[in-house]
Structure 1
Amino acid sequence: MSESYKAQMLVVPERQNGQRLDNFLLRELKGLPRSRVYRLIRTGEVRVNRGRCKPDTRLSRGDQVRVPPYAGRKPAHVGTPTDKLRQRLEDSVLFENETLLVLNKPSGMPVHGGSGIALGLIEALRQIRPEWMEAELAHRLDRETSGCLVIAKQVDFLRHMQAELRAGKVEKTYLALVQGAWPDELDTIDLPLRKNELASGERIVRANPDGKPALTTFQIRERLPDATLLQIGLETGRTHQIRVHCQSAGHPIIGDEKYGKDTAISHKHLALHAWQIAFRPTPIAELHHFEAPCNRHFTQLLESLSNGR
């Protein structure tokens, strides 16, 4: 068999010990669409130590990850951040020390490259400063969502943060502008969610009794003429959880093209902002709180809605 048609075996290095399989592959197979990566895992074409695996499988140093030959080739290059993007990301830093970064992620920027995107936030960060070359996402935000995003600069912090997330010890608070008048009594939505893949390859999440548990809390901060400003807490961290729960309540988030089409208020930006995050940077540390100011798209929309425009 020609060398180009052989499966590729990737060995997990020490710095990626404890990383999720999907995150590992998204970095190693740069340029491969996210939907393809998840399909390869689901169909068993990706194997860890010869066994089938799931996207959230945790890898250990020395694990052997098999990828099929057509997935193992990397593109010629990853995109290079422009001077404008470099400055934008530099300006988005809310906090930094030797182990981590907290950013105010810009709306519209994917955290990963792939699916026709040559450069995501994490790939751009690695090219901006030498001390960011080994940066890894500690968690994710949707492309359209702005706000607090934690980046690991050292593998020990990455493992710690991922363990804290799994244990539900990371506090996340969002702000959202939703369509219509949110009911006073609706302060909690407990509705299981399940990922689905459409024939087009697009991933979508739907409420499903057989899905994973998903719990979201809601607090009304301000009532507007045709909308409501909500403060939202995540008790679980499912994909698109806030967006689907708001949709299920009949009050989709303004600007949500996936879960809120054909609604009364249209806006080209998703009105969802990761406002605050709190976590312990080490096992013995006190809880550290971080807050990201809302971007101008969010504040301008809020002002416009407040004035009844």
Structure 2
Amino acid sequence: MTSESQPAPSHGVRYITIDAEDSGQRLDNYLLKILKGVPKSHIYRLLRKGEVRIDKGRVKPETRLVAGSQLRLPPIRVAERPAQPVPGQRLQASLRAATLFEDEALLVINKPEGLAVHGGSGQSGGVIEALRAMRPDDRFLELVHRLDRDTSGCLMLARKRAALKSLHGSMLAQKVEKQYLALLRGRWPKGRNIINAPLQKRTVASGERVVRADSSGKPAVTHYQIEESFAEATLMRVTLETGRTHQIRVHSQLAGHPIAGDSKYGDELFNNQLRELGLGRMFLHACSLRLRHPVSGETVTIEAPLPAPLEKLLVRLRSGESL
């Protein structure tokens, strides 16, 4: 991504009429969103001193916004922020071509492998930053869930705050069905359909995030269904009942059938053998979503086609090429 410079904004007294999109949001969260570049401590100090008011009355950080009310902001000096990264033309073209579903409330893309969903941990930017730069007219755009950088497939983003809240509620109630296609080492035994093992996330001394099965961890349940069997590998359709970090990768490893191309939890020899057949990534793809639309209430099914490199590998395995 390249960068464009912009001057530091400064503001006198401002009056903002709260619209329906922001109604119900906590005041402090709203201020943190619209006053980017202002230290968090300063925002809370203004609230404590009563300099931020709604309909001329004092308010607290936890006050919920109401559509039609008038918010008064005192003069605030905003620190100059780093220039926002602008996605390159190739990335913009890739993300435009990746759109699977879009309406006024929801955007679903077929996330490319190798692209983080957001910046951080050494990444200057990811999907969400690129899409916000590409869609300046979208007043609201937030990730509904996440995918690992090395996982491709269906990624949901909310275009309205109410849609985000509704979708998060559906996910907590396990009413969003997320399916993946994963190529695993070896022959998966028939009749083994569920891995139920709590997972514990840890950060090691190097800063790397590692997940392990641990009885003291958070509940994690993964459903497996054999899609296609090969001589030394199995293509599985995997459905998440919970959505823990690295869940499919760790549960597959725990079952003795790690995911092909997984450099963290996989089998190095197996990965090297598949690399000889052209696999240059992890074979994990979020192939479909089934959910209740947050506005219409209708059931929506969205599918992401398997990327060409993964499909080509399957063709070679079907032809009988050995590892």
* TM-score interval, normalised by the smaller of the two chains: 0.7 to 0.9
Give 1:154's aligned amino acid: K
2:118, 2:128 within 8 Å by CA — same for their partners in 1? Answer: yes
1:209 corresponds, among 209, 215, 221, to 215
Cα pair distance change 1:184/1:198, threshold 3 Å: same
Correspondence for 1:300: 312
Provide the residue aligned with 1:129 in structure 2: 135
Structure 1 distance, partners of 2:133, 2:150, is 23
One-letter amino acid matched to 2:216: D
Do residues 176 (structure 1) and 175 (structure 2) align? no
Native 8 Å contact 2:163 2:295 kept in 1: no
CA 144–17 in structure 1, closer or farther in 2 if over 3 Å, else same: farther
State the alpha-carbon separation in 2 of the partners of residues 193 and 99 from structure 1: 33
Partner residue of 2:239? 233
Match of 1:38 in 2: none
User: 1:123 Cα shift?
Assistant: 0.2
Does structure 1 residue 148 correspond to structure 2 residue 154?
A: yes
What do the CA deviations read for 1:257-298 (whole angstroms, capped 9, x no partner)?
A: 111142323343110000110111226612111000011121
C-alpha separation in 1, matches of 2:156 and 2:179: 14
Q: Answer yes or no: is the 8 Å Cα contact 2:180–2:287 preserved in 1.
A: yes
For the pair 1:188 / 2:194, whether they are aligned, the reply is yes
Are the aligned partners of 1:278 and 1:288 in contact in 2 as well (CA < 8 Å)?
yes
Gap change, CA 1:272 and 1:61, over 3 Å in 2: farther
Instruction: Tell me the amino acid that sits aligned with residue 255 of structure 2.
Output: A
1:124 and 1:16, CA in 2 relative to 1: closer, same or farther beyond 3 A?
farther
* Matches of 1:298 and 1:15, distance apart in 2: 44
RMSD: 2.7
Distance 2:225 2:219 in 1: 21
Alignment pair present for 1:94 and 2:100: yes
The 1:61/1:264 distance shift into structure 2, 3 A limit, reads: farther
Q: Which structure 1 segments of 5+ residues have no match?
A: 1-12, 30-48, 50-58, 64-72
Q: Find the structure with the greater CA-based Rg.
A: 2
Match of 1:52 in 2: none
- Could you say what secondary structure the match of 2:206 adopts? coil
Aligned partner of 1:82 among 85, 88, 105: 88
Letter in 2 for 1:175: L
SS at match of 2:92: helix
Compared CA separation, residues 120 and 251, structure 1 to 2 (3 A): same
Tell me which residue corresponds to 1:197: 203
For 2:242 and 2:210, how far apart are their aligned partners in 1? Answer: 18
Secondary structure of the residue that 1:172 maps to in structure 2? strand
Aligned to 2:71: none
Aligned length: 255
The aligned counterpart of 2:262 is 256
Provide the rounded CA distance (Å) in 2 between the counterparts of 1:74 and 1:190: 49
Pick the aligned partner of 2:302 from 285, 290, 296: 290
What are the ranges of 5 or more consecutive residues in structure 2 without an aligned counterpart?
1-20, 38-46, 48-60, 66-78, 273-278
Does 1:224 find its partner at 2:240?
no
Asked if the contact 1:243–1:259 (Cα under 8 Å) also holds between the matched residues in 2, the reply is yes
In 2, distance between residues paired with 1:108 and 1:74? 31
Residue 271 of structure 1 corresponds to 283
TM-superposed CA distance for 1:146, in Å, is 0.6
Letter in 1 for 2:284: L
Contact 1:126 1:133 in 2 (8 A): no
Distance 2:243 2:87 in 1: 30
Give deviations 1:62-102, integer Å, cap 9, x for gaps. Answer: 79xxxxxxxxx996223210111111100000111111101
Secondary structure of the residue aligned to 2:113 is coil
Contact 2:259–2:282 (8 Å) recurs in 1: yes
Percent of matched pairs sharing the same residue: 44
Q: TM-score, normalised by structure 1?
A: 0.76
Distance 1:79 1:179 in 2: 40
